[in-house]
Amino acid sequence: LKQVFNKDKTFRPKRKFEPGTQRFELHKQAQASLNSGVDLKAAVQLPSGEDQNDWVAVHVVDFFNRINLIYGTICEFCTEKTCPVMSGGPKYEYRWQDDMKYKKPTALPAPQYMNLLMDWIEVQINNENLFPTHVGKCKKEVL
């Protein structure tokens, strides 16, 4: 299990919300709703009086954390040898393009693709212009 949760490989620590902040309270609300067996549509509904951008940001970060944990449990089974292509079944192949190192869509082994994707998402989530840590500061045109 130590290999699965090796920070230098694929596992990334959860982004935490500072206790006492409104985002922390929204996170607790989201967690309580998702863990209580409540109707999913009701669980993600914007609470009265809350900023929509803050609510969306909380759910995006939570979703990233959950996907990261799921990926961490399977990554040791999907190697460059066993998963030479990032695909969505026999009809779909995903190619990586980031306009820096990969200027054109490039076929990559699934683990390499996933590591690039998770790194890219983490950079987006940690970008204060996209996901500010202070309540009410999200740019409306981004979210």
The annotated binding site for Zn(2+) is made up of: 78, 83
Q: Which residues are annotated as a binding site?
A: 78, 83
Q: What is the 3-state secondary structure (H, E, C) of the chain?
A: CCCCCCCCCCCCCCCCCCCCCHHHHHHHHHHHHHHCCCCHHHHCCCCCCCCHHHHHHHHHHHHHHHHHHHHHHHCCCCCCCCCCCCECCCCCECEECCCCCCCCCEECCHHHHHHHHHHHHHHHHCCCCCCCCCCCCCCCCCC
